Amino acid sequence: MVMDVRTGQIVSMANLTANQKKASTSTPSSATATATAGQTIDIGPKGPVSEAQNNLAMTQLYEPGSVFKLVTFSAALQDGLINPNTTFTVPDRITLDGSTFHDAETHPTEQLTATQILAQSSNIGTSEIAQGLGETRLLAQVKELGFGEPTGLNFPGESDGLIAGPTQWEPTNFVSLPIGQVDAVSPLQVLDAYNAVGNGGVYVAPKLVRATVGPTGAMTATAPSKTHRVISSSTDAELTTMLQQVVNSGTGTSAFIPGYTVAGKTGTAQIPTTGKDSYTTGAYMATFVGLAPAKHPVFSAIVVLDHPTPIFGGTVAAPVFSQIMSYALHHYDIPTTPGAPTTPPPPGTVAAAQTQDIT
């Protein structure tokens, strides 16, 4: 999905499924196509790809993984608990209520700033910040950013999400909730929350219909989307700068767009096993959600891949975001960002591996 940051207008949306039974290895990997309703097309060696029967962007719930870290960081910045340079001592694992939680990659105990924790997507560092916030504040921020609440779009089959409230709270939620487990949300809700960051901290309800056409052919514009502030402007500016580092030097470097600054977040989330209190081995949802140009965003966008190979949001979802967002910026003649790099970071200079993003 691609959204106009200021109006909430959804300017592009696609839901595609791959039919592996009819996959053709003869299709060139560079092949691309656009599907109209019900059309089946070949895209790359794993095609054909067809339109999904349901609007997954609005109706499918999933545990979002690290993109949900926006909840913890926005609340902590808003309350003055942290600033972008606040330093934490971060081990690679902690024990809460008898359960052990760890970062995706083993590492010695490190001194990391809040910006580095976000850019490198440290699960343990995020949990340390969340514990400082406390249960009540965390749950309040989940709701404040629109999770568990109607988006206002009223799309058929759209879900408000499944949110763990005070009655379901457990001590281990100080890790699982901040890193995007426990709660199930829609991709649209994730995009709405990040779009608020791009809109200076003001949530703008999503909008799918631009206008209606009457019997005479006259067009009537739909009402503007409702808005309300969810993050202060000063906090929003700090958060945007931190999210830029995700793309500049963190897990989201593959979202780089030549000539433009990008702010965003990766997510690589385990998929729960149906009917069991466990996760399915080897099954992941990969996400990248972001804004461009970073400081004065015109568009926000989200890409979610179900059971991708490779599994990492920074590896598979971020490049798709880059391609789509790059097209949108050029299509609408959005000026490049003065001073923005035109080449991606050289190999070996990136501070975070994309594998660190797993929750």
Using an 8 Å Cβ cutoff, are 43 and 231 in contact? no
How confident is the model over 126-144, as a mean pLDDT? 96
Whose structure tokens read 């609408």?
332
Give 352's pLDDT tier (boundaries 50, 70, 90).
low
Domain assignment of residue 134, yes or no: yes
Percent of the chain's residues with pLDDT above 90: 71
355 band by pLDDT with thresholds 50, 70 and 90: low
CATH number, position 314:
3.40.710.10
Q: What is the pLDDT of residue 275?
A: 80
Cα–Cα dist 223/210, whole Å = 9
Catalytic residue list contains 50: no
Is residue 108 a part of any domain in this protein?
A: yes
Virtual CA dihedral for 160, 166, 167, 171, nearest 10 degrees? 120
Specify if 34 maps to a domain: no
CB atoms closer than 10 angstroms to residue 234: 11
Q: Give the range of the structural domain holding residue 99, as residue numbers without chain letter.
A: 2-14+55-209+224-357
Is the residue at 317 inside a domain? yes
Distances (CA, A) of 309 to 35, 255, 278, 286, 291: 23, 18, 21, 10, 25
- Residue of 50, 66, 74, 300 with catalytic role: 66
Position 47 in a domain: no
Residue 40 has pLDDT above 80, yes or no: no
* Domain membership flag for residue 160: yes
Considering the domain boundaries, does residue 257 fall inside one? yes
Q: How many domains does the chain have?
A: 1
The answer to the question of residue 285 being in a domain is yes
